[in-house]
């Protein structure tokens, strides 16, 4: 269905066309008409389906730009997703006088207070920082007409249920509520029953996202061999733009350092980095200045970068839904993508659960040899030699060149040039990762070596959320930062961006 069939005004349709959208995605096609009709909606869909536009377009359509009150509130689990949502609303509402303010931890709350004082029709915020503003009385939610809970299951995993309930009680009872979640656990259903009015339930199946455009592979490998196997795969596959997932912040830091040692252009993001550093890394990655982005699950939430051709799951995720979120970073907008998941014998039941959810069997990938990895590096280096020869043509008559020609034959010199361009000496740089605690055994699986076997055990999603929750939004006791800043001095203060949408900009 085309956007012109959804009842949107010309200003928004023009912005949609500039944004590069052609046809509405399934979640947009089903959600936009219901939202514009004033209904409460529960949208169950994975990342990468266009949820932001699904709720953003109707909100922008209904905003009274002459009224400076907060008319719409979007609650996001992470700072990155809040910033991305703010930017998306800005782009889609280019031709309307709408002020959008983001509030999140890790940024100077005084700047956010100042932005709110100047008026914001739409506020996008993380739970902890929103609670800070509510308690301080620096945000007035009494005129909110539309409330959006984005990635509600992730907020639940991160321990924000009480905050969500407090926010729901701070907005008017007479309002429209939109809830988006990849999964629908009992606590999310209770929110729908308690705080929503006859919500329409829209569900987009996960299989629509993972089966067609992403080739999925797994590598069976012992834990102490994983890093060597990984770098050889990278040498052969030579991704143009890749995202690599590690289970912990320490793992992300170590993977980034090891990749750099072996000649790869990599950078990492997780909750302990300052907001300024994270923003810088993401900007470099989006512009192709960084080849491999290493991230934890929560740090990558909301990340939307075009051109990602590979996703590497260095650590298999503990819950299957996270896998879907991860590989949703590639295979977007009709482009082809690939995913490679590393798995040990004891983790094979986690792999089987992922296959049950995605309804697609992963293909085994045999680890490459050092000779194959070397050939991969050489192939890429050979493509660069022509540019090097062209750029150094002016030194062809030097005395040193004559001496080298006399001392070595052409084959030796060509091999040396290729080896230097390929950074062959870095291939075997000594590096070892710290041991990470293995995932808990699935219920019913005590041998660990079988593909298949045990039933899916319960309670694991909560464990992941508890491990990562300290890295995110709920601020320190004085409300000055997000969890990643708690107890740290001198943390970077990032100016929150207050977009004022003007004509002809």
Residues 264 and 180 in one domain: no
The whole-angstrom separation of Cα 146 and Cα 59 is 7
Residues 343 and 269 in one domain: yes
Residues 122 and 238 in one domain: no
- Cα–Cα nearest to 122, from 90, 152, 166: 90
Residues 311 and 174 in one domain: no
Q: Where are the alpha helices (DSSP H) in 361-448?
A: 370-391, 399-407, 410-421
pLDDT tens digits, one per residue of 245-286: 999 899 999 999 999 999 999 999 987 888 788 889 999 999
- CB neighbour class for 389 (10 Å; exposed up to 12, middle 13-18, buried from 19): exposed
Residue 337, strand partner residues: 214
The whole-angstrom separation of Cα 80 and Cα 472 is 11
Give the residue numbers spanning the domain of 18.
3-204+492-500
Would you write out the chain's pLDDT as a tens digit for each of its 505 residues? Answer: 888 888 888 888 888 877 667 688 889 999 999 999 999 999 988 666 788 899 999 999 999 988 999 999 999 998 888 988 998 898 887 778 788 999 998 888 999 999 999 889 999 999 999 999 999 999 999 999 999 999 998 898 888 989 999 999 999 999 999 999 888 888 888 888 889 999 999 988 654 444 568 999 999 999 999 999 999 999 999 999 999 999 989 999 999 999 999 999 999 998 788 878 888 999 999 999 999 999 988 777 667 788 899 999 999 988 787 788 889 888 776 678 999 999 999 999 999 989 988 888 999 999 999 999 988 888 776 767 767 776 666 666 677 777 777 788 778 877 777 777 667 778 888 999 998 888 877 644 433 343 443 333 333 333 334 333 333 344 433 333 343 333 333 433 334 444 444 333 3
User: Does a structural domain hold residue 244?
Assistant: yes
Q: Which residue has the tokens 């361009």?
A: 421
User: Does a structural domain hold residue 98?
Assistant: yes
User: Does a structural domain hold residue 151?
Assistant: yes
Residues 133 and 250 in one domain: no
Residues 177 and 269 in one domain: no
In whole angstroms, how far apart are CA 49 and each of 85, 163, 359? 14, 26, 18
Residues 143 and 290 in one domain: no
pLDDT tens digits, one per residue of 353-377: 899 888 889 999 999 999 999 888 8
Residues 228 and 241 in one domain: yes
Residues 177 and 230 in one domain: no
User: Does a structural domain hold residue 486?
Assistant: no
Residues 62 and 125 in one domain: yes
């Amino acid at each position: 269905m085309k956007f012109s069939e959804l009842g949107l005004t010309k200003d928004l349709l023009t912005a949609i066309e500039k944004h590069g959208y052609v046809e509405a995605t399934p979640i947009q096609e089903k959600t936009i008409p219901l939202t514009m009709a004033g209904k409460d909606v529960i949208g169950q869909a994975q990342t990468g389906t266009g949820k932001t536009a699904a709720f953003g377009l109707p909100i922008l359509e209904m905003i009274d730009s002459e009224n400076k009150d907060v008319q719409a509130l979007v609650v996001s689990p992470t700072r990155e997703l809040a910033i991305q949502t703010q930017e998306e609303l800005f782009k889609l509402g280019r031709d309307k006088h709408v002020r959008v303010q983001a509030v999140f931890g890790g940024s100077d709350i005084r700047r956010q207070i100042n932005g709110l004082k100047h008026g914001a029709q739409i506020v996008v915020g993380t739970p902890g920082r929103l609670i800070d503003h509510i308690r301080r009385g620096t945000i007035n939610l009494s005129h909110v007409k539309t409330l959006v809970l984005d990635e509600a299951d992730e907020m639940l995993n991160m321990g924000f249920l009480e905050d969500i309930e407090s926010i729901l009680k701070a907005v008017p009872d007479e309002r429209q509520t939109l809830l988006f979640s990849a999964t629908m656990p009992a606590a999310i259903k209770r929110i729908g029953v308690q705080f929503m009015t006859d919500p329409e339930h829209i569900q987009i199946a996960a299989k629509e996202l993972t089966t067609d455009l992403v080739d999925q592979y797994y590598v069976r490998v012992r834990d102490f061999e994983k890093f060597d196997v990984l770098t050889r795969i990278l040498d052969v596959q030579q991704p143009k733009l890749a995202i690599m997932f590690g289970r912990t912040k320490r793992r992300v830091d170590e993977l980034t350092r090891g990749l750099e040692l072996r000649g790869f252009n990599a950078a990492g993001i997780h909750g302990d980095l300052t907001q300024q550093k994270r923003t810088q890394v993401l900007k470099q990655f989006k512009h192709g200045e960084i080849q491999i982005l290493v991230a934890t699950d929560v740090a990558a939430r909301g990340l939307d970068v075009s051109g990602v051709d590979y996703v590497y799951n260095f650590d298999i995720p503990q819950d299957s839904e996270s896998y879907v979120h991860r590989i949703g970073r590639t295979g977007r907008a009709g482009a082809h993508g690939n995913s490679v998941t590393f798995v040990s014998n004891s983790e094979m039941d986690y792999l089987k659960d992922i296959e049950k959810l995605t309804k697609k069997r992963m293909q085994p990938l045999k680890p490459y040899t050092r000779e194959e990895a070397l050939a991969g590096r050489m192939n890429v280096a050979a493509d660069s030699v022509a540019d090097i020869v062209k750029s150094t043509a002016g030194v062809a008559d030097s005395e040193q060149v004559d001496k080298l020609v006399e001392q070595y034959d052409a084959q030796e010199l060509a091999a040396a040039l290729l080896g230097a361009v390929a950074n062959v000496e870095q291939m075997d740089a000594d590096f070892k990762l710290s041991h990470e605690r293995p995932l808990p055994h699935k219920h019913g699986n005590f041998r660990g070596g079988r593909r298949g076997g045990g039933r899916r055990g319960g309670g694991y999603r909560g464990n992941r959320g508890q491990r990562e929750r300290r890295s995110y939004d709920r601020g320190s006791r004085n409300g000055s930062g997000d969890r990643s800043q708690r107890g740290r001095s001198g943390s970077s203060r990032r100016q929150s961006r207050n977009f004022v949408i003007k004509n002809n900009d």
